[in-house]
Amino acid sequence: SKTIHVIGGGLAGCEAAWQIAKRGLSVTLHEMRPHRPTPAHQTDGLAELVCSNSLRSDDADYNAVGLLHEEMRRAGSLIMDCADRNKVPAGGALAVDRDGFSASVEQALLAQGNVTIMREEIAGLPPAAWEQVVIATGPLTSAPLAEAIRGITGEDSLAFFDAIAPIIHKDSIDFSKAWFQSRYDKGEGSDYINCPLSKDEYYAFIDALLAGEKVPFHEWEKDTPYFEGCLPVEVMAERGRETLAYGPGKPVGLTNPNGPKPYAVVQLRQDNKLGTLYNMVGFQTKLRHGEQARIFRMIPGLENAEFARLGGLHRNTFVNGPRVLDATLRLKAQPRLRLAGQITGCEGYVESSAIGLLAGLAAAAEALATDFVAPPATTALGAILAHVTGGAHADTYQPMNINFGLFPPAPERDERGKKIKGRDRKKLYSDRARADLEPWLSQI
Ligand code: FAD
């Protein structure tokens, strides 16, 4: 049978190679380190964790990433197996000895027999003779390959930086203060959620933004271009105390049904098709995460906001998944190329590994001429796959961690009509996911 080529020996590439090899197919894994380093990797090991040694919460009942861990273990994940075997104490989190973890991944792949590891950069489009390729080159994909992918997807569909505005769970917004309305009632007329600020509230907010502690850029990120269209909100505030009130926060074309005409507004736009998540329009930021939560909760209506993700600005190569990928993670424009890991627009070690697992299953199914069955949308695996292949809106697409806001909403009330809140609601998501994963597992 023909060889499947996996480019990138990071978390996603190793997981994909493992899933393919486990199904009896031969795999060549191409990793450019140590010949060509990245600005963040320190070693020449496969599956190197570039920063924290934590794979985050291991609580599968109440935490979406913990649930993703459990689902990946049940689906035979190499990354989860090696993480479990190299676990170090970290309370409820799954943290690992990073060198032991990396070595375990490499040993497991080598022991597989049908995996060849080549230390070389693929500097441009993979050779035409390679009929099936998985590209898992991550947030720091080398420039010639990134440019080649950009050539296929089009300039607007591959980014070199993320500029992330915070995303909020809609059900944590206080609608006795906030209201739905589009400026001048354009579009559907109620596409945006608006939060009103009085003059005093506005100035207090600007002062907090200016004083808030920011995250410095890494040395190799210093030449980050600020695109005028997506300046960090605090940089906009530095240009003048009125810049926001006259810019994205101008209150024109809006009527506040809950009180007086505001001095400025903060608008939120629907972020996923399910309508469970809303992003803060124009609020990409380098503020520290703790500062973001504190300062953004000063906005009327957002006092109890729960953040599905906080803002940031990083070097990060990723495609516009919903626009350019098909349901099995292949580039629509060139289906022999399948993407996996963070380059698809998921975010984080675990999520990248999960998309590697699914890309591996899809590649193997294609090579074996069987159908790839996607995991149900109610599972964590299904939710993260849906995000990168079409659940998110293409025009505001930004990388995302797994969270329950990406799942189809669980019932809000029990049989007696009582509201299900907090931990109980999270448990509903996990229980439903567990039940729905079972039949899928028997199909893979
Ligand atoms: P990677 O793990 O980066 O693997 C990609 C591999 O492809 C690399 O080994 C690279 O050398 C190789 N490669 C690139 N181009 C080529 C080429 N042309 N030919 C051959 N090989 C190539 N996530 C977290 O969950 N927690 C964190 O604390 C965290 N901190 C981060 C800090 C930084 C500075 C960065 C950049 C990212 C961080 N992330 C973190 C995100 C994390 O890096 C990714 O989620 C994860 O590593 C992505 O996995 P991946 O397999 O897609 O990419």
CA of 198 from ligand 1 middle (Å) equals 44
Ligand 1 atom 4 nearest Cα: 10
Mean pLDDT of the chain: 94
Q: 11: part of which helix (H) or strand (E)?
A: helix 11-22
CA–centroid distance, 138 to ligand 1, in Å, is 4
**Would the CA dihedral through 77, 323, 171, 245 be positive or negative?**
positive
Q: How far apart are CA 127 and CA 229, in angstroms?
A: 37
Record the tokens describing residue 380, joined without a space: 């964590």
Distance of CA 55 from the midpoint of ligand 1 (Å): 14
Nearest CA to ligand 1 atom 2: 10
Q: Which atom of ligand 1 is nearest to the CA of 341?
A: 52
**pLDDT tens-digit map of 248-267:** 899 999 999 999 999 999 99
Mean pLDDT over 182-210 rounds to 93
Please say if the pLDDT value at position 234 is more than 70: yes
Residue having the nearest C-alpha atom to atom 50 of ligand 1: 138
Mutate to test the pocket of ligand 1, among 5, 6, 11 (most ligand atoms within 8 A of CB): 11
DSSP secondary structure letters along 209-235: HHHSPBPPPPGGGTT----GGG--HHH
**How many angstroms is it from 17 CA to the middle of ligand 1?**
16
What residues have CB less than 8 Å from 419, skipping those under 6 apart?
A: 412, 413
315 CA closest ligand 1 atom index: 36
pLDDT tens track for 126-140: 999 999 999 999 999
The pTM assigned to this predicted structure is: 0.91
Contact 278, 269 (CB under 8 A): yes
- Burial class from Cβ neighbours inside 10 Å (0-12, 13-18, 19+) for residue 309 reads buried
- Sorted by sequence, the CB contacts under 8 Å of residue 192 that are 6+ apart come out as 180, 181, 182, 183, 267, 268, 269, 281
Range 53-76 average pLDDT: 97
Would you say how long the chain is, in residues? 444
HSE, side-chain direction, 13 A CA sphere, residue 10 = 32
Distance CA(158)–CA(165), nearest Å, equals 18
According to the model, what pLDDT value does residue 225 have? 61
Tell me how far the alpha carbon of residue 40 lies from the centroid of ligand 1, in angstroms.
Answer: 8
The 10s digit of each residue's pLDDT in 69-106 is 999 999 999 999 999 999 999 989 999 999 999 999 99
